[in-house]
Amino acid sequence: MTEPRVPPLLQMALRVEHDIFVIRQRGREVAAVVGLEHQDQIRIATALSEVARDLLRMSGGADVSFRVEAGVDGRFHLRAELAPVTPLPDGYEPQSGAVSRLVDTLRVSRVEGATVVGMSRRVPANAPTPTPERLAEFRAELGRTAPASALDELTAQNGQLIAALDEVRSQRDDLAVLNEELAETNRGVLALYNQLTEELEETNRGVVALYAELDEKSAQLRAASESKSRFLANVSHELRAPVTAIIGLGRLLTDTASEPLTGEQGRQVELIRSSAADLLGLVNELLDLAKAESGRIEPDWAEVDLRQLFGQLRGTLRALATRPEVELVVEELLSPAVLRSDEVLLGQVLRNLLHNGLKFTERGEVRLRARQSDDRWSFTVSDTGPGIAPELHERIFEEFYQVPGATRVGGTGLGLPYARRLVTLLGGTLELTSEPGRGSTFTISLPVDGA
């Protein structure tokens, strides 16, 4: 059982050519009355007149009816049905494509046993709900408007065509404006891109130039450092002979076999000798450092027996530990301890550090300790001396630097830079931890198996 259909809003007959115009016009009126928008009114009216033309040609006419029905989507639809007066040829499809796009649905179906061509268009949600009362009003309203002549309809159609053309033209104009704006934006983007590329290239050129300058400067620096080492080496070498001669001459003058000197003369000659000995010490240190810096010192790699080396250090340094308030401790190594290194160079470094400790410590102790952990040996020379402020920890490794205000105990400021050079040559590091008033600890770390 199907529910009885709502009565049509309007019914018309299609029999002659002129009816096509009337159907078109009335279709538009019905669409307007039920609340379809202007564009939709024209769409459904156009679809109607196209299908009507088909049916007049193929079936000699049709009965046309309009209804408002609720669809499965719960919304209202204006539905037009064209029931052909004679059966349509088999397989007739209402014009698809352009025409079917004008409406929501367009298809041939069977309604109450008869074949009809139906089309529908959705009524906008904001249109008044078509209650039975409203529908009755619609019917009355449609009854009042009389169909106009074909000429009127043609005029109206012309007007609509002009409006549609106008709209197309204005859309085309809008499009042209948009295109122009797009082109403008593109030009802007391109200009920005070019500018950025140029800036990037400029920056790159700057960086390249900077690097070239940097390379040049470091080459100059290397050259300067090399010539400084060469100069130091040459000067020291040239100085050694005359200074040694002065010392020898002094010794000759004070020799018992020589003419005896007066007391004052003896003191003067002794002063000359000790100054010359200081100078020779400085010259020798300079020469050592210059040699180490120019890479002319080649470590003589061999197994170094640390117990033996420590024994030697104990012996040679005892003579330097002249203060009774300072104890020199070279810790015993309990088990055989060996590493691959240069015994002479390592001995020189340790002696230098221990000597510094003894020089600067007034009471307490100076201690040498060696420890092995994994593949490294670490040697620490610690003292209970004045200590060194943290900001000077690197400076004291610079040539000729001496901590200002420290007790004047002589020296050249070349010992530590030389020691660090040698440790580097041996493949290790030399670091300091110290604080004023808390003594100093110099730590040498060396690989067990040499560089």
> Judged by CB under 6 A, which of 386, 420, 421, 446 binds ligand ADP?
386
> Judged by CB under 6 A, which of 385, 421, 422, 423 binds ligand ADP?
385
CB of 396 to ligand ADP, least distance (A): 4
383 lines the binding site for ligand ADP (CB under 6 A): yes
State the number of CA atoms in the 13 A half-sphere of 290 facing the CB.
Answer: 18
CA distance 69 to 75: 8
DSSP conformational letter for 398: S
396 lines the binding site for ligand ADP (CB under 6 A): yes
> Judged by CB under 6 A, which of 105, 160, 412, 445 binds ligand ADP?
412
364 vs 447, beta carbon nearer ligand ADP = 364
| Residue labelled with tokens 């200009």 | 191
278 vs 303, beta carbon nearer ligand ADP = 278
> Judged by CB under 6 A, which of 147, 281, 413, 447 binds ligand ADP?
413
411 lines the binding site for ligand ADP (CB under 6 A): yes
415 lines the binding site for ligand ADP (CB under 6 A): yes
CB of 419 to ligand ADP, least distance (A): 7
CB atoms within 10 A of CB 90: 5
347 lines the binding site for ligand ADP (CB under 6 A): no
Polymer length of the chain: 451
406 lines the binding site for ligand ADP (CB under 6 A): yes
CA distance 415 to 288: 10
49 lines the binding site for ligand ADP (CB under 6 A): no
201 vs 398, beta carbon nearer ligand ADP = 398
CA distance 192 to 177: 22
64 vs 358, beta carbon nearer ligand ADP = 358
CB of 430 to ligand ADP, least distance (A): 11
445 lines the binding site for ligand ADP (CB under 6 A): no
Helix segments in 341-402, DSSP class H: 343-360
356 lines the binding site for ligand ADP (CB under 6 A): yes
What b/e readout covers 260-280, taking b as 16+ CB neighbours within 10 angstroms? eeeeeeeeebeeebeebeebb
| Residue labelled with tokens 């059966």 | 87
350 lines the binding site for ligand ADP (CB under 6 A): no
403 lines the binding site for ligand ADP (CB under 6 A): yes
CB 19 within 8 A of CB 60: no
360 lines the binding site for ligand ADP (CB under 6 A): yes
* Binding piece for ligand ADP, criterion CB under 6 A, among 47-55, 64-72, 327-335, 395-403: 395-403
Cross-strand bridge partners of residue 13: 63
The C-alpha angle 215, 221, 226, rounded to 5 degrees, equals 130
384 lines the binding site for ligand ADP (CB under 6 A): no
Token pair for 11:
């019914």
277 lines the binding site for ligand ADP (CB under 6 A): no
157 lines the binding site for ligand ADP (CB under 6 A): no
Residues 6+ apart with CB under 8 A from 362: 323, 325, 326, 385, 407
CB atoms within 10 A of CB 317: 19
261 lines the binding site for ligand ADP (CB under 6 A): no
Sheet hosting strand 429-434, strand order edge to edge: 326-330, 364-373, 376-383, 440-447, 429-434
Binding site for ligand ADP (CB under 6 A): 356-357, 360, 383, 385-386, 388, 396, 401-403, 406, 411-416, 440
